[in-house]
Chains A and B, each alone.
Chain A
């Protein structure tokens, strides 16, 4: 029984033809999720650039340390929200901001280094 069904199915696909097959292919390939959004902050010369970054909710922000000294990225208002390990030169840290709001952060090693992410 199954064999005849599968043969029938195969025949059906062949009958549909190229365009049909193409259409079937397309819909089976199309992803339903949105394109992931990302943003970058460069850490260099004892500063975060840009110091103020505005992103849409759901954006993943990646900090990259280009300085020759280690730094960290720690949420000012709630250290439990995001707190990187120590980042040496070329190390990265990423965090996805899901809720709208303003999120100030700083480097816990050099606390004069501050920045903020504004999530809209």
Chain B
């Protein structure tokens, strides 16, 4: 229905209230390069191609960043024998964005087997990205064999515990959480008591009008517990964030884009730059999904996020590598 030509998406769509059809249409547009912004229940869309013609005043105080995830450097099986190439394609995509993002978030599974050369290769590839500041949180593949020591050495400067931390950019408060350590048999992701205490303290004195972005590897909502796609104690974390008017949660781990809105919290998972995984329950197990080579890039991707001061929700746009 909607062609891939960005030129066709010129107008501003105003929907009254969140209507599932409208939201789904918007999600389809996301792959072709449109911004969908949810603001107090009103859905607006703007084409990427006419951003330059947009009212600049309306976009004052803009902050933009990119989320990439699950690069799994070291993986070399179907559907992707060359994850370095697809990560490079993701960097090219980021560098081609109309407005260069200020920094990047990597939501984990940087490496596939926690090998030093795998981390080195990712660092090397990301050197070509315009946004040179990258903030990382570990995936379970990054903390193998050494309880996360190597991850902390490489990416954990200034962090606490197993690598959690927070920082501010243009008034937005970013919180990096670690939910891949000390996983218990039969369990889901876990944040743990120390991290939760730190989180409570970290946001205690922030004004409720502060926009919050939380990023962690495993989803902080129950996407599909049968496959371990959830975090046992995330409810406690979200309770500490209840007072805020805008909370965006960015996760990885499941290698597909999913979004859920619950009150003032928007949960979003990113595609992988390495290989896709099946939709919840659509396969026997959550292993790498094999797709024909020509389709691979269309199931991998990056996420572009924009924050406009004065607007509650962040605009989260996924695009594929195709």
Contact = CB atoms under 8 A, between A and B. Distances in A.
Q: Do A and B bind each other?
A: yes
Interface of A: 45-47, 67-70, 72, 76, 85-86, 88-89, 104-106, 108-112, 114
29 contacts: A45-B284, A45-B287, A46-B227, A46-B285, A68-B287, A68-B288, A69-B287, A69-B288, A70-B113, A70-B141, A70-B144, A85-B144, A85-B145, A86-B113, A86-B144, A88-B113, A104-B185, A106-B185, A106-B186, A108-B183, A109-B144, A110-B140, A110-B228, A111-B185, A111-B186, A111-B187, A111-B188, A112-B187, A114-B186
A112 B186 contact: yes
B286 interface: yes
Interface residues of B, number: 23
B77 interface: yes
Interface in B154-203: 183-188
Nearest to B227: A112
A67 to B, nearest CB: 7
Contacts of B186: 106, 111-112, 114
B77 A109 contact: no
A109 B140 contact: yes
A67 B185 contact: no
A68 B77 contact: yes
In the complex, the 5 A-B pairs of residues with the closest C-beta atoms, listed nearest first? A106-B185, A46-B285, A111-B183, A112-B228, A76-B185
B92 interface: no
Interface in B264-301: 284-288
Nearest to A47: B285
Nearest to B112: A70
B285 A45 contact: yes
B226 interface: yes
B114 interface: yes
Contacts of B285: 45-47
A83 B312 CA distance: 47
A105 B285 CA distance: 19
Given A45-B287, A105-B185, 19 more contacts: A46-B287, A68-B77, A68-B78, A70-B113, A70-B141, A70-B144, A86-B144, A86-B145, A106-B185, A109-B140, A109-B141, A109-B144, A109-B183, A110-B228, A111-B183, A111-B185, A111-B188, A112-B227, A114-B185
B77 A89 contact: yes
A72 B114 CA distance: 13
A94 to B, nearest CB: 18
Contacts of A111: 183-188, 228
Interface string B78-120: 1000000000000000000000000000000000111000000
Interface in B207-251: 226-228
Contacts of A47: 285
Nearest to A46: B285
Which of A68, A88, A89, A105 has the most B CB atoms < 10 Å from its CB?
A68
Give the most central of A45, A69, A86, A114: most B CB within 10 Å.
Answer: A69
A68 B277 CA distance: 13
A111 B230 CA distance: 12
Contacts of A45: 284-285, 287
Contacts of A85: 144-145
A36 B284 CA distance: 36
A109 B109 CA distance: 11
Nearest to A44: B285
